[in-house]
Structure 1
Amino acid sequence: MSKDIQIPTAELVQEYINKFDSNKDLVVVEDVLSELFGKYSQNCSLRDVLIKVSVLNSLYSTQIYAVVETAKHIVEVNIDNDLRMGMIEVVEKIARVEVGGKIRTNYSFASKYCHWHQPEMYPIYDSYVDQLLWAYHVQRQFEVFKQADLRNYPRYKEIVESFRKCYNLTQFRLKDLDKFLWGYGRKYAQ
């Protein structure tokens, strides 16, 4: 993409945070997910995990077709301690799930699932954010990386942190930076 892209100043980031926070539909989704993941904070009960997987999949349109298999997989890989410790590898651990004898990588879903357990540890990955970070990379190489690196979660988090530092956006929590990256990324993709 060679569209014009605005430099991510604190003012621009705050503008998109405000737009997000003033959208009642987005806010109610955030409230529901925050309450749900707070109420069902553990991942050892298939029932509890299935509720979270189903609601997250529905509200974020993550295109998980095998929700029961995905929930079983999350229970089987025993992620609670990793999530508490903020272990980055947990995203990859739950993203790769076998369905019908084939490995499916639910990367965006996994980042969102972990994010809702620990919003300040796990930035959300999605295609809008991918396109936007790549566009900023092309504009000003704030970090040396290939676009494919954005689909490697440990590397992705490093890239997000580098972006935040390069553009002097460290005053924003990761949760708020996610709002900007998604909102402006969505606009940029149009």
Structure 2
Amino acid sequence: MDTNKLKALSYDELRALYRNFLHSQDISKLTIDTAYSDTFYLWRKGSKELFWNTVMDTGFENVAKNELIKALSENSTGNVKSLASSYLSHLRRFRLFLASDGTADLTAPKQEKTARPTHIRKKKVSVIVPDPSSDQVELYLKKWDGLENYRLQEDALNKLFFELCPKNKDITDILLKASTLNNFYSTNIFSIYPVAKHICALDIDARLKAGDVTLVGDIQYVTIGETLKNFYSFATKYCSHHNPIDYPIYDSYVDEVLRYFRKRDGFSDFQDVDLKDYAKFKNILIEFRAFYGLEKHKLKQIDQYVWQLGKEYFPKNYGKKKEKTIGG
């Protein structure tokens, strides 16, 4: 989204545009109605400038929480901390709107999905990938173990994340981990300090341990300068290297393979955009594992298997940007 154009809109114009965006998301009507009002609380009770300065601040989490508590303390008789948490969640969703690419149809509500048919006929595809099976997973896990550079990089990351810097309280620890991930995975984050500062402000350790999938969304959106960046793949990697059991890694190879098998075998009826919603992405991987009878394998192993399939059968052109240099 062009933030400067959005800033020029009036209160009613911006809310109308945002409401259309909300309808394009897979959320309830009640949530849409609440977000339509609560997202703009700071604008109503403060000013347009206060609202925009807050949502665009590089220290969004702390700044937004403080401004909301201040405004609610002056204007509400309810539980201020509870209300602030609720309003903060709406502001996070608004930042997702700011980070969207603007290609979605924001002029009409999203249509209901039709029921998935009980039997889905396989569709012809140009690339022939072997049927997923436990034997195939084991084959590719052995290949993974034979990839010395990937395996040793993974060992180095495990030592860093699990032994040397397991916590996320000290920004120097976070900087070390984020910089190493950025280097090993070639995620092309050119200014890593704002990312580390953002992660530090989130106080993520308890959520990481609990496997809170919403944490990926909180990490992925970072304001650098006056631009809201979306580091989705990096956020999944950062969480995964703290808790690989609960956080599979998203990247373009995995995306390609999941869409391939959806088209070929109909293992799921997800939309392409669902792969960029982390909770949905994780559920899609779980569906994939169940559909092909791979339940004995952990999601980490499924991730390594699927990534290698993508790298082998859907290789990237070297002239184009690569998202990942080691598997998840």
TM-score by length of 1: 0.97
Of structures 1 and 2, the one scoring higher in RCO (CA 8 A, sep 6+) is: 1
Runs of 4+ residues over 4 Å off in structure 1: none
Partner of 1:88: 213
What is the CA–CA distance in structure 2 between the aligned matches of 1:167 and 1:83, rounded to whole Å? 29
SS at match of 1:159: helix
What is the CA–CA distance in structure 1 between the aligned matches of 2:264 and 2:245, rounded to whole Å? 27
What is the CA–CA distance in structure 2 between the aligned matches of 1:131 and 1:141, rounded to whole Å? 14
Shift, 1:2, TM fit: 3.4
| Letter aligned with residue 211 of structure 2 | G
- 1:116-151 superposed Cα distances (whole Å, 9 cap, x missing partner): 000010000000000000001101111221011001
- 1:84-110 superposed Cα distances (whole Å, 9 cap, x missing partner): 111000011101111111111101100
The CA RMSD over aligned residues, in Å, is: 1.0
TM-score by length of 2: 0.57
Q: Which of 274, 286, 290 is the equivalent residue of 1:165?
A: 290
Name structure 2 gaps, 5 residues minimum.
1-124, 316-328
Partner of 1:121: 246
Q: Which of 172, 179, 183 is the equivalent residue of 2:308?
A: 183
Q: Which of 101, 106, 112 is the equivalent residue of 2:237?
A: 112
| Letter aligned with residue 32 of structure 1 | A
| Letter aligned with residue 6 of structure 1 | P
Taking only the aligned residue pairs, the percentage that are identical comes to 37
What is the CA–CA distance in structure 2 between the aligned matches of 1:28 and 1:55, rounded to whole Å? 13
Q: Which moved more, 1:113-122 or 1:59-68?
A: 59-68
What is the CA–CA distance in structure 1 between the aligned matches of 2:161 and 2:221, rounded to whole Å? 21
Name structure 1 gaps, 5 residues minimum.
none
- 1:36-74 superposed Cα distances (whole Å, 9 cap, x missing partner): 001211111110000000001101111111111100010
What is the CA–CA distance in structure 2 between the aligned matches of 1:104 and 1:154, rounded to whole Å? 20
Count of equivalent residues? 190
SS at match of 2:190: coil
What is the CA–CA distance in structure 2 between the aligned matches of 1:148 and 1:5, rounded to whole Å? 23
- 1:147-169 superposed Cα distances (whole Å, 9 cap, x missing partner): 11001000000000010011011
Larger Rg computed on CA atoms = 2
2:126 equivalent to 1:2: yes
